[in-house]
Structure 1
Amino acid sequence: MKKIIALSVITSGLLTAAGYKIPEQSLNSMALGAAYVAHTTGADTNYYNPAAMSFMVDKQYVEGGVTLAHLPSNEYTLMDPYSGESEEENIWIPNAHYVANAIGNFRWGVSLTAPGGLTKRWNTPFQKLYAEEFTLKIVELNPSASYKVTDNFSIGGGVRIIYSEGVVNSDGADAGAPLKREMEGDTIEFGYNLAMLYKPTNDINLAITYRSNVDLKESGQANLYFGGVGKQYDADVTVPLPAALNIAISKTWNNTFTLEAVYERTYWSKYKTLDFNYGSPIANPILDGAFNAPIDKEWKDTNTFRFGATVVLDKITLMMGLAIDETPVPDKTIGFELPDSDATIFSMGFRYQQTDALSWGAAFLYDGKDARALAPGIAENMVLSNGGGFTGGGAYLTTVGVAYEF
């Protein structure tokens, strides 16, 4: 299995949020469009708000699920021969969560998630020059613990253990540029998460969570070719998996109907440049200029507004969500590896209580990307500087999951 190196890969993205992170990592969070911070109910509480574990019934919780992410093609339209269309992608994303019994006022849990990544492939000439294939996988192991400070206030936190691997290929032959690159690498990095939950009344929850920035230093090999002649280099590049702050409030009526609102601030401004480093000098000046010069990114911090509703009807729980998501990518530094834009997200799902201990369900999420027009002379990318625009893209995600309590 190839392990990639390219920060460009990380740069390439996000399945269901702007940038390249994936916030929906369980059945409930998918159904609610990640408006799932203040009012969490299952084993995935460990991931979304570990402080809330303190208020769960004293038993063990385990759940798992799998998501099929369908990524429609992106279309870039300008004039022949510059127009192009990316490949459609289908990606499986698993998740698993566990919360243990309470130990006095302490409680612990662990989650295994895939908080970012995707595959973007272009077979059209001028897009292959930059992004023939960008594939990124990120897996996070997140053990956390909570402490009940008072009967209505708790705190929590944990360690983020992140492994990522990927692949990045580009080929300019069809566009008349005899340049080609093949890169691979991987890394293990660490971060942390913090959380608090305050219950001013039995039916209102106030929550704050924070996930730290993690710099992913992808290290491996890069094969660079000019005119069919290539050389292998040790290489590394660093990109941020950005910090995120969530502030949430939920209100429940008659233990039946819950509304939650979440404000999320993602600190993408950490991503200023994409700079590859090589173990030895690149002798060919054309290859050096194409693959060694730092690339401006200048991403901006973004706001996301999420709203979720949960209705409990006997054995069936119905959920739906809406989110408004900003892109961090400015027109100046947009590229074919991540032709991102603002998005509106709609989601829905259900959970069926099969027995007192066993439940299962399904959820669906649609991430609709806005069309993005580019004025000539703005983008630094050679092709995109001509203007044109992107349409399509986005994502359709379908999740199935099962939970057990004992």
Structure 2
Amino acid sequence: MRKRLLCGIATVSMLGTATVSFGAGFKVSEQSAKAMGMGNAFAAQADDPSALAYNPAGIAFLKGTQIQVGSATILVPQTEFDGTTRLSGSTVVSEKANRDIFIAPTVYATSSFESIPLAFGLGINSFHPLAKRWDASSELRDSIQSISIKPINFQPTVAYRFDNLNLAVAAGFDVTYAQVSMQKMAYKAIPNLPAYGPLAGTYQEVGTIGADATATGYGYNLGLQWKPLPVLSFGVAYRSEIKLKLEGDANYLRSGANAAALGLPAKARSTAATDITLPDALTLAVAWKPIEKLTLEFDAERTGWSSYDKLEMRFGPTLAAFNNSDPKNWKDVWAYRLGTQYAVTPKMDLRAGYAYDKNPAPDSTLSPELPDADRHNFSLGSGFHNEFASLDLAYMWVHWVDRTVSNVKESGTFKSDAHIFSIAATYKF
């Protein structure tokens, strides 16, 4: 039961939101309205301040000082489950998670010098937000009832441009701070021993668990952008893993007809802790202009989810009986993104994109707090700009492939879809 408590906590940083996350695992790739309109294929173009999130080397080619403020409004995935669970036994049930609205703001600022080919940038965004709520009476309540993860990432970056090569490189730091809240019903598998009488070998409700935890982790990011021809550009970006040591408080309130007979306290408080490593990510990208008004880009991103091999939960003495190690055994995966932009007029662009994200979670460890699956992302966008400002709008539909699993937690099919709306305004000084 405690494993779920920090499974949410772990997810905080990785996120690796699903639920609210739209890259592989629990990562939100939608960090810019312009990029989202092109299916997040943007690491080779990287031509506005949101380059800090996709390929920081791009800020070396931006002129003057630019500030971008944006927000992605996410309709949290409508997840449905049809099948059996540990609580329903052989009875087939149908469950739906609550659909909520989640807002992920972004702020990017860049500044370059006229006398030297050097640029600085600061990005503030959220790569791993998460939100999921199942009803209190859900047959999945022993895994999760609600989880909310609110991470914020600060990214100071410096970039240098080699004008004679049309090449730029960048390096920066990532500082991620995360807050997590979670609640679930606590159940306990009773040993099949005579001492437990009629409860022996059963699965009993014993209470409600709630937890709040925080963590700060540090990493780095690197970028390279090369423009060998006016119509061709390449991008390479790398974001390191971030190690989080999550610490917080756990609360337990006893419930269930047989909880007292098991010797559990009416209520208890404890510390809670776990260690999580957020995965690294490598992006390779190419952008090409076959004609003057049309830009095409293809990105491939590898995420090192194999770092998420288990989730260990550690509690203080009062709840030490709930210490647990939950295997995850995720694998490294690739995502592929294709985007296009067409300049309808000198001041207006239309965009479209598609992305395919492979999920990293094996059937054996899939659970309802993050019922991930392979996904298809379809997007549309537009941009309006002049010499001093720009406004970008985008919409994305995320469709998860139906995921049928059979493991110790549940046996059935998860179905999910989500809608994202994004807007960003950029000011140039």
- TM-score, normalising length: structure 1: 0.90
Residue pair 1:224, 1:230 contacting (<8 A) in 2 also: yes
- 1:156-185 CA-to-partner distances (Å, cap 9, x unmatched) read 010001110011110158x95123211111
State the match for 2:275 in structure 1: 238
1:111 has 2:119 as partner: no
Paired residue for 1:277? 314
For structure 2, the 5+ residue unaligned runs are 85-90, 188-202, 260-264
Q: Secondary structure at the match of 2:314?
A: strand
Q: Secondary structure at the match of 1:92?
A: strand
Amino acid at match of 1:308: G
Which residue of structure 1 aligns with residue 178 of structure 2? 164
Answering whether residue 374 of structure 2 is matched by residue 368 of structure 1, we say no
Q: Which residue of 2 aligns with 1:397?
A: 420
1:47 corresponds to: 53
Give the Cα–Cα distance (whole angstroms) in 2 for the partners of residues 96 and 336 of structure 1. Answer: 32
> Do the aligned residues in 1 keep the contact of 2:5 with 2:184 (CA within 8 Å)?
no
Task: Give the CA deviation at 1:32.
Answer: 1.3
Residue in 1 aligned with 2:220?
A: 192
Offset at 1:9? 4.0
> CA RMSD, aligned part only?
2.0
Task: Answer yes or no: is the 8 Å Cα contact 1:5–1:184 preserved in 2.
Answer: no
1:254 to partner: Cα distance: 4.5
User: Where does residue 121 of structure 1 map in the other structure?
Assistant: 133
Q: Distance in 1 between matches of 2:221 and 2:156?
A: 10
- 1:335 maps onto 2:363 in alignment: no
SS at match of 1:51: helix
Alpha-carbon contact 2:270-2:317 (below 8 Å) kept:
yes
Aligned to 2:139, what secondary structure does the other structure show? helix
Equivalent residue for 2:151, pick from 117, 138, 152: 138
What is the TM-score normalised by the length of structure 2? 0.85
User: What is the CA-CA distance between 1:54 and the residue it aligns to?
Assistant: 2.1
Structure-to-structure mapping, 1:7-406, within 5 angstroms: 7-11=7-11, 13-14=17-18, 15-56=21-62, 58-79=63-84, 80=91, 82-102=93-113, 104-123=116-135, 124-149=137-162, 150-172=164-186, 177-226=205-254, 227=259, 229-280=266-317, 282=319, 288=321, 291-314=322-345, 315-353=347-385, 355-375=386-406, 379-381=407-409, 384=410, 387-391=411-415, 393-406=416-429
Moved more, 9-18 or 145-154: 9-18
Number of matched pairs: 386
Question: 3-state DSSP class of the match of 2:26?
Answer: coil
CA contact (8 A) 1:67 1:94 kept: yes
SS in 2 for 1:282: helix
Cα drift, residue 82 of structure 1:
4.4
Note if contact 2:379-2:394 (Cα within 8 Å) is conserved in structure 1. yes
1:235-259 alpha-carbon deviations (Å, 9 max, x no partner): 1112232111000011124442110
The one-letter amino acid of 1:119's match is: A
Q: Quote how far apart the aligned CAs of 1:81 are.
A: 6.1
- Return the alpha-carbon distance in structure 2 between the equivalents of residues 294 and 25 of structure 1: 33
Cα distance in 2 for partners of 1:52, 1:66 equals 21
SS of aligned partner of 1:115: coil
Give 1:401 deviation, angstroms. 1.4
SS of the aligned residue for 1:46 comes to helix
Give the Å deviation of 1:189. Answer: 1.3
* Identical counterparts, % of pairs: 25
The 1:208/1:232 distance shift into structure 2, 3 A limit, reads: same
What secondary structure does 2:129 align onto? strand
Deviations 1:267-299, CA, capped at 9 Å, x for gaps:
00000111111233636xxxx2xx312000000
Q: Is the 8 Å Cα contact of residues 6 and 273 (structure 2) preserved in structure 1?
A: yes
Find the residue that maps to 1:126 and give its secondary structure. coil
Following the alignment from structure 2 to structure 1, what is the Cα–Cα distance between the partners of residues 349 and 184?
A: 47
Residue identity matched to 2:395? F
- Mean Cα displacement is larger for which, 110-119 or 12-21? 12-21
Name which one, 1 or 2, has greater alpha-carbon Rg: 2
